[in-house]
A = this chain, B = another copy of it.
Amino acid sequence: MDRWILLKHLEQFIQEDLGDGDITTRLCVEDEIVKGVVTSKEDFVLSGVREATVLFEDHGVEVKEYFDPGDRVGEGDVLMEVRGPASVILSLERLALNLIMRMSGIATKVRSMVDAAEGTVVACTRKTTPGFRYFEKKAVQDGGGDTHRMRLDDMVLVKDNHIALAGGLQEAIERAKKASFSKKIDVEVVDFEGAVIAAENGADIVMLDNMTPSEVERAYTKIKDIRKDILVEVSGNIDIYNVKDYTPHADVVSSGALTHSAPAVDVSMTIER
């Protein structure tokens, strides 16, 4: 059924790019069967290729994939070959490449962080491109990361503004615990005292936001002492350079930049008869 969900999104993207039709292709190209070869133009971690495949297949184009999502590919590698009507392949080319470029860019950035994090879970956030979240979350998974919340209805995440408006951390957690038993409760805190309150009052996850490695260590030790099952999430300007300072005392590191500032990778398609 993932294919079905995917197609719902892809239909909108086709509409966005196609409008009333690819007027250039309609004029210049006759309806012959051609082959399109998608090639990597740099080294990266592949993502988006499955999505491009579904896009093409749903419009009658055969696809041969040469790699799996998450694979490392090198410059010059053939990523996929498509075979079908020239008009369809040319009209969908840009969208297919846009999917691969962006998703692989994210997967590549995530993989670097995952490698640096040495076993700690690496998660993205809700700092995604509006309209494209489903794909960016998927790219994070392809890179080896964790999606974190998909939407605001997904997990309870008590943040600074909720705490301020609830009138304090303890009161905010009390209220949060009225959520369905099926939901986890994640509480964002900014210091040791907050971490202790969150852990003692029933948070499933305590998110240590913008704390130093030594503060993180202290809070982590105390939290695990209170209840071993509580997950410790660390967040705030963590990148591949400093992530190792945190990972010994973190179950999860989360970073918005994984999705909001990953440069696209370079891929191209050439058509052959």
Where the two chains meet, the residues of A that have a C-beta atom closer than 8 Å to any C-beta of B are 1-2, 4-5, 8-9, 12-30, 32, 34, 59, 86-88, 90-95, 97-99, 101-102, 105, 121, 123, 126-135, 146-159, 161-166, 172, 175-176, 178-184, 186, 205, 227, 229, 231, 233, 251-252, 257, 260-261, 263-264, 269-271, 273
Contact = CB atoms under 8 A, between A and B. Distances in A.
Contacts of A148: 180-182
Given A130-B13, A152-B23, A162-B24, A181 B251 contact: yes
A54 to B, nearest CB: 13
Contact of A131 (B101, B129, B155): B129
A21 B34 contact: no
Contact of A152 (B18, B154, B175): B18
Nearest to A164: B271
A10 B163 CA distance: 28
How many copies of this kind of chain does the complex include?
6
Given A27-B175, A91-B1, A32 B264 contact: no
B158 A87 contact: no
Given A23-B156, A28-B165, A154-B154, 13 more contacts: A1-B22, A1-B88, A8-B15, A17-B151, A19-B151, A19-B154, A23-B183, A27-B175, A28-B162, A94-B126, A98-B126, A130-B131, A148-B180
Given A17-B151, A28-B166, A165-B30, A23 B179 contact: yes
B99 A130 contact: yes
A68 to B, nearest CB: 14
Closest 8 CB pairs of A and B: A131-B131, A19-B151, A261-B263, A19-B153, A13-B130, A260-B264, A22-B152, A28-B162
Contacts of A4: 14, 18, 59
9 contacts: A1-B14, A17-B152, A18-B153, A24-B152, A28-B165, A148-B181, A165-B273, A181-B251, A183-B184
A158 B28 contact: yes
A129 B153 contact: no
A20 B134 CA distance: 8
Nearest to A30: B165
Contacts of A28: 158, 162-163, 165-166, 172, 175-176
